[in-house]
Chains A and B, each alone.
Chain A
Amino acid sequence: MNDQPSTSAAATGGPQAGRFGDYGGRYVPEALVAALEQLDEARLKARIDPAFQGELERLHRTYSGRPSILTEVPHFAEHAGGARILLKREDLNHTGSHKINNVLGQGLLAKRMGKTRIIAETGAGQHGVASATVAALMGLECVVYMGTKDTQRQALNVARMRLLGAEVIPVSHGSATLKDAINEAMRDWVTNVGTTHYAIGTVTGPHPFPEMVRDFQRIIGVEARAQVLDLVGRLPDAVCACVGGGSNSMGIFHRFIDDESVRLIGFEAGGHGVGTDKHAARFSTGVPGVLHGAYTYVLQDEDGQTLESHSVSAGLDYPSVGPEHSFLRDSGRAEYRPITDTEAMDAFSLLCRTEGIIPAIESAHALAGALEIGRELGPGAVILVNLSGRGDKDVDTAARWFGLLDDEQPDGLEQR
């Protein structure tokens, strides 16, 4: 029975609709409220509709490749103080990350609501690729907004989206990253809300997005919990995941929330270090505020202006975080720690060389975190890590980081 999402205050329409404690809500222009209400109604119906759930399950099984497997990584774990480390392999999903889980669900909802066009924001490009893919599959028009800083560091994903028939619109104002792509997608949505569904890629934004996206990602934890029990015979001691907006982490955490013995630990981008101004550690230096429709932790200055975030990984480079994480953090149910660029890249390299798996740089933050937690917990501990994406998109960044480009051909990737 616990494999169904719990009915929250939001679902029952009480006075706390769309709130996780104080966090969440719906801070949006009035022009969007009707669309949010329509979406909320559609997703609540779909959640209990066997036809919808059956179609989603079929797509998981026959299209994206679920269930994703669990891989134990003993050689990598030798560096983790004797702990056992188990990877939930969302990197093996079609399109290369957990993002497809959410977009398949929202694509089906868009069709149910009679929308013919979906728009999306993307940072690393994984959500954009997943959106372009699902749009191609379902016959929807697709427009993806992406900051120009990200189109440069994730050029391969831009080409991938265009191959799939999506229009990619580079966004050059503001910090030219994920936050500005969301602003631009919101502007598009306000203008075209009659025909368009905004498929937000993470557990943030106005209600019902944080709850709906979590519900679509929840399958990660549902599968992983059963797989760990099957393999180890007991629950893990800790579940580790990286936290940008927070969808892969909410996805793997949620099924474990009632398992009090299981520590839930999210790893944010510590960038150059939380003592510098180049990081995305919202829970280290952010304060609660409103960004992109939700009340949650935000990196902001004393005038309430959003501060620019930094991370070596585009997918974690976001100044805000999903409101349910803020709630889990304040309640103490989950912990959040920063991982620096260097720590993440070291863990990235270690997994490549010890296990033959190239992780996304985002997921490498969770791997670095698992090494840290393993050393703290000591021998015999079992740590489940969400390997949320694969690193093909990051080869360029990693090659530069590790200086792998031969001097004889320095222009190989440079001038691609």
Chain B
Amino acid sequence: MSGVATVLAKTREQGRAALVGYLPVGFPDLQGSIDAMVAMVESGVDIVEIGVPYTDPLMDGPVIAHAADVALQNGTRLADIFTAVRAVAHAGAPALVMTYWNPVLRYGVDRFADDLARAGGAGLITPDLIPDEGAQWIVAAERNGLDHVFLVAPSSTPQRLRSTTSACTGFVYAASSMGVTGARTSVGDAAEVLVTRTRQMTATPICVGLGVSTGAQAAQVAAFADGVIVGSALVRCLADAASPADGLTAIRELSAELAAGVRRKR
């Protein structure tokens, strides 16, 4: 069983949802991003999503797009991903890399899979690679024991929910509302409807992303999902901080609040 599957089995046994936290590598700088990822793990995040900064992040809203811009201006390189992966794995959480497809393609799909596995990574989440185009990646991932997480959306047809979920390992990423990443004041019903529809197709755990920013929202989503994914709200902790130390404090506080949320009695 993969590291991700093990964590999700454990949290299910504990009668709670898992907390998945996203941060991009290189924001505010390389060391700062790694320190923040480790702080998340120490404060209750179960699985870390490590974002690869990319010049054309067309699924991301302004907060994450800005962080990617800064990371690239800082000279963040693709190889830095593996440094972050090693640090997260060392801190004791599965490290899933979230990346647009072209950086992996340019690095070489097989070479990327080999190097990710060697660094102790858990797998990939691919927001612009659907399983239909992912044959080479799935083979490379299987060979290395890496998870391949794909996304489902409210607009997915029943047929696509079936084919996409059957291509997922680790978990299924339910992009809960139509739109790009970013905190929303209301999580809405769309997430629960999507999770219900997805469950009819698969026994693989389902984690919900896009929009969660508070402990209360995390608790709300945890009532029906196997995992709660938080991204922009965590990135904002770093973006809004007056100093690196303040940023880490904010990351710890929000992680703890979210971790309490996913543990609230269902």
A residues with a Cβ closer than 8 A to B are 25-35, 37, 173-174, 179-180, 182-183, 186-187, 190-194, 287, 289-293, 298, 300, 302-306
In the assembled complex, the Cα of A354 lies from the Cα of B216 at a distance in Å of: 72
Q: Is A290 within 8 A of B153, CB to CB? A: no
**A193-B178 CB under 8 A given contacts A29-B127, A33-B160:** yes
Contact B133 A31 (CB under 8 A): no
- Knowing that A30-B153, A291-B102 are A-B contacts, what are 13 other residue pairs whose CB atoms are under 8 Å apart, sorted by A's residue number? A25-B133, A26-B132, A27-B130, A30-B150, A30-B155, A31-B156, A34-B157, A35-B155, A174-B55, A187-B59, A193-B155, A289-B106, A303-B78
CB distance from A278 to the nearest CB of B (A): 17
Residue from the list B55, B61, B154 in contact with A305, Cβ < 8 A: B55
Asked if B103 and A303 make an inter-chain contact with CB atoms under 8 angstroms apart, the answer reads yes
**Which of B77, B101, B128: most chain A Cβ within 10 A?**
B128
B104 at the interface (CB under 8 A from A): yes
Interface residues of B in 25-82 (CB under 8 A from A): 54-59, 61, 65-66, 69, 72, 77-78
A183 to B128, CA, bound (A): 13
Residue of B nearest to A293 (CB): B128
A-contact bits for B146-175, CB 8 A (1 contact / 0 none) = 000011111111001000100000000001
A179 interface neighbour in B56, B154, B156, B180, Cβ under 8 Å: B56
Q: Which of A35, A179, A192, A304 contacts B78 (CB 8 A)?
A: A304
Q: Is the interface of A mostly helix, strand, loop or mixed?
A: mixed
- 28 residue pairs from A and B, CB less than 8 Å apart: A27-B130, A27-B133, A28-B130, A29-B127, A30-B152, A30-B160, A30-B164, A31-B154, A31-B156, A31-B178, A33-B130, A173-B69, A187-B61, A190-B59, A191-B179, A191-B180, A193-B155, A289-B102, A290-B101, A300-B106, A302-B106, A303-B78, A303-B106, A304-B54, A304-B78, A304-B103, A304-B104, A304-B106
Chain B proximity of A178: nearest CB distance (Å): 12
Let me know if A29 and B128 touch, CB within 8 A: yes
Contacts of A31 in B (CB 8 A): 151, 153-156, 175, 178
With known contacts A27-B133, A290-B102, A34–B128 Cβ distance under 8 A:
no
Which chain A positions have C-beta within 8 A of B104? 304
CA distance in complex: A272, B150 (Å): 42
**B residues 93-122 with Cβ under 8 Å of A?**
101-107
Chain B residues with CB under 8 A of A186? 58
Contacting pair A292 B105 (CB below 8 A): no
CA of A52 to CA of B94, assembled, Å? 54
- Taken together as a complex, chains A and B put the C-alpha atoms of A27 and B136 apart, in Å, by 14
A179 surroundings in chain B (CB, below 8 A):
56
Query: Which residues of chain A are within 8 angstroms of B54 by Cβ–Cβ distance?
Result: 304-305
In order of increasing CB-CB distance, the 4 nearest A-B pairs are A304-B106, A31-B153, A304-B103, A191-B179
Q: How distant is the Cα of A334 from the Cα of B128 in the complex, in angstroms?
A: 30
Q: In the complex the two chains form, what is the Cα distance from A179 to B58 in whole Å?
A: 11
Q: Is the CB of A27 within 8 A of B103?
A: no
- A75-B72 Cα distance, complex, nearest whole Å: 51
With A290-B101, A305-B55 known as contacts, the answer to whether A27 contacts B106 (CB < 8 A) is no
Chain B residues within an 8 Å CB radius of A289: 102, 105-106
Question: How many angstroms between the C-alpha atoms of A300 and B179 in the bound complex?
Answer: 27
Residues from chain A with Cβ under 8 Å of B156 in the complex: 30-31, 33-34
Alpha-carbon distance A192/B154, docked complex (angstroms): 12
- Provide the residues of chain B in CB contact with A174, threshold 8 Å: 55-56, 69
Closest to A300 in B: B106
User: Using Cβ atoms and an 8 Å threshold, which residues of chain A touch B58?
Assistant: 29, 182-183, 186-187, 190, 292
Contact of B129 with A by CB under 8 A? yes
Q: Which residue of B lies closest to A32 (CB)?
A: B155
Q: For residue A151, give the distance in angstroms from its CB to the closest CB of chain B.
A: 19
Per the bound structure, the CA–CA distance linking A32 and B103 in Å amounts to 21
Query: Using Cβ atoms and an 8 Å threshold, which residues of chain B touch A173?
Result: 65-66, 69
Most chain A Cβ neighbours within 10 Å, of B56, B72, B129, B178:
B56
| Closest B residue by C-beta to A37 | B157
- Contact residues in A for B132 (Cβ distance below 8 Å): 26
State in angstroms the CA–CA spacing of A252 and B149 once bound together: 42
Partner of A292, one of B56, B66, B150: B56
The answer to whether A26 and B178 touch across the interface, beta carbons within 8 angstroms, is: no
For residue A291, which residues in chain B have a CB less than 8 angstroms away from its CB? 56, 102
Q: How far is the CA of A239 from the CA of B55 in the complex (A)?
A: 35
> Chain B contacts of A29 at CB under 8 A?
58-59, 127-128, 151, 153, 175
Q: Do A26 and B153 touch across chains, with their CB atoms under 8 A apart?
A: no
- State how many angstroms separate the Cβ of B47 from the closest Cβ of chain A: 20
Residues of chain B lying within 8 A (CB to CB) of residue A306: 55-56, 102
**Chain B neighbourhood of A182, CB < 8 A:** 58
Chain A residues with CB under 8 A of B179:
187, 190-191
B69, chain A: closest CB distance, angstroms: 7
